[in-house]
Amino acid sequence: MAWKVTEMLDAKGATIRVINLETNQLDLFASYGLSENYLSKGSVSCTKFITETVRKNRVIIIEDMLTDPRIQYPRQALEEGFRMMLDLPLTLGETVVGIIRIYFAEKRVFSEEELDFIIAISQQCSCAIDKARLIEDQRAQYYKLASQMEKLSALGRMAAGIAHEINNPLAGILLYSSNLIKKAPEEGPFKEGLDIIMHESLRCRNIIRDLLEFARDKEPERAPANVNEIIEKAVNILENEFRLKRISIEKELSGEIPKILLDVNQMEQVFINLLLNSMEAVQEHGKITIQSHTDPENNCVKIKIADTGAGIHNDDIEKIFEPFFSTKPKGTGLGLAVSYGIIKNHQGDIKVSSKPSQGTCFTIELPFQEEASSSEREDRKDGTE
C-alpha cells in the first residue's frame, strides 16, 4: 500500500504507522522509498499526530519542515530530500488507528478532487490493516491453543504415570485397612482412625480413577442411541441423591429427537458429572432443569442442564474446563475436563453461561450423522412391517 500511494501521487516515499494499543505509540507498519537510517528513528508518540484535524478525517499538509511540531526529526527529513509531507488518518468507524505519511521532493498544490482521492486510499488502507490485525489475532489464538493442547497432552501422560505408580501402594493401604477395621473395637480412637484412613484412601482412589480417565482420552464406541434415554438413566442413578437434598428435577425432553451416534457409557458419564455439579451448586431446595431439542439450522441435538445455584464468577468461566481447576473445596477439577474431552471426541461442543447468584447453564451440542439417520429409518421401517 505504501508503494501504491507513492507511485500514484508521484511522491518520494511513504510510511504507514499503526497505533500500538499497549504503548500508545505509532509503530512502523510499512514503508517505501525511505532510507534505513531515517526509518531507524523508531516509534513516535500518538499525541503529535492524532490531532482534532486528523480525527475529522482531514488531510494535513506540512510545508514548513523545520518548525512544524509534527516533524520529529526535521534536519534528517531535509537531508533525505523531503520538502513537503501529507498526513492521512487511518480510521475504522470513528476511531483513528494509524497514519499514512507521504513524502514529496518538492512542494505542490493539490486540488479538492486529489485530496478526496487520497482520503479514499487511506480508507482502503484502514480496511487492509483491520484484516491484517484480524489474521494476526487468529494466528496468535491458534498458536496459543496448540501450545495448550501440547501441555494438556504432556500433562495427561504424566498423570497416567503418576496414577499407576500410586495405585499399587494405595491398594495395599485399602486392603490392610479393611482387614484391620474388621478386628477393631466398635468404640474408640483406633476404629475412628481406620475409618478416616479408609475414607481418604477411597477419595484418593476416585481421584486416580479420574486422572486415568482424563489421560486415556478413549475413542468413543459409537452406536445409534437416543440421548433422552441416556439422560433418563443418569437422572435415575442420582434420584436418591436429589430426594435426600430436596432438589427438584424438571425435565423438558423433546419427543422428536432422532437417534444419533453416541458412546452411551461416555455420554452417561458426562450427564452424571454435570448433574452432580449442579447438585452441589444448588445445595438443598434448589431446582435443576434438563432440556433437549433438535436444532435443524445447526444440524445438531441440543441439551441444556441449568440450575438455580450460586453461579460462577466471570474470572472463572474460561477456566472451568481446564484440568485440575475447581471452585469446590474438595474438587479434583477433572470432571468437567473429562466431560469436555468426551463431547469433543463426539465432534460436539459444550458451552457454559453463568452469573454469580443467578445459576449456571451448560449447553451441549451433538451433531447429527447420516449413519444415525439411516439406522433410525431402518428401525422405523422394521417397526411398521
Write down the pLDDT at residue 376: 44
What's the CATH number for 152-216? 1.10.287
With 0.95 as the threshold, say if the pTM is over it.
Answer: no
* Contact by Cβ (8 Å): 302, 364: yes
**Residue ranges covered by each domain of the chain:** 2-110, 152-216, 223-384
- The reported pLDDT for the residue numbered 373 is 44
User: What is the per-residue pLDDT for 332?
Assistant: 55
Whether the domain at 2-110 and the domain at 223-384 fall into the same CATH topology: no
User: Is the CATH number of domain 223-384 3.30.565.10?
Assistant: yes
- Give pLDDT, residue 333: 58
Architecture of domain 2-110: 2-Layer Sandwich (3.30)
Grid coordinates in use for 252?
Answer: 423438558
Integer Cα distance of 292 and 257 in angstroms: 8
User: What residue ranges of the chain have pLDDT lower than 70?
Assistant: 1, 41-57, 93, 133, 142, 145-146, 148-153, 155-157, 159-160, 164, 210-218, 323-334, 370-385
